[in-house]
Structure 1
Amino acid sequence: MPGLEGDAALGSLLWMTVCVVLIIGLAYWFTKFVAGRGALGAFSGGRRMEVLDRMPLGRDQSVVLARVGERYLLLGAGTAGVTLLAELTEEEAAAWKPPEAAEGEKPGFKEAFLTVMKQKQRERR
């Protein structure tokens, strides 16, 4: 019978559609689960990355100081992406680190940036 072949094809199509929707739903749930746990708990032990300061340079452009583990990175961020400008040494990063409570108020981003640039110029000479 010609009608049964059409019904079987329609049933097969509906079954495949339900399977695809189910797979997409499970994939969505799994990605939310993994993102919530931080790659299955790999980074749940504490923050290893931190943005210490950000200085806007213009529309959609800024300089960012980030700490990743024990490394300090000076990054340029813009619409084209993120670029590594410099990796700071421990001495250079000292100008960026928050001072101890006894030392008083911490320097601003501009002052710390100028201090690091002066140190770089002295190294080049």
Structure 2
Amino acid sequence: MNWEQGKAILAMGGTLVLMLLTLLGAWWVSRLVGRAGQLKMPGGSRVTVLERTPVGRDSSLAVVRAGDRVLLLGVTPHQIQKLDELDPALYPEGEAARTPPDFMDCLKKAVREKRGKHNGEDGPRQ
């Protein structure tokens, strides 16, 4: 093996090490960002993103627990808007929280309740 072949092998090895370090860094950052869904707030309450569903290119719906309230939020790059307040019983904490309710069922229920309020009805329509 001559000097040129040795340099080529070292260059490939260095490239492989850099690629592995890049992948490791990306994995570490994704873990860090994943934990950002739970932010500690002053006063001991917590804000937790329970679910997030994209509804467009740059917009999504998010179900968020803020203290003892569960909110449905519309999220775009320019604003976050409260769309509705959901029943906290649908998103229990602790052991029951391991199997979350179906997001679409909760969304349909919230839309039905919202329509009932706009139509002057007392409760949700079935």
TM-score, with structure 2 as normaliser: 0.48
TM-score, with structure 1 as normaliser: 0.49
Higher relative contact order (CA 8 A, sep 6+): 1
Rg larger in structure: 1
Larger helix share, 1 or 2 = 1
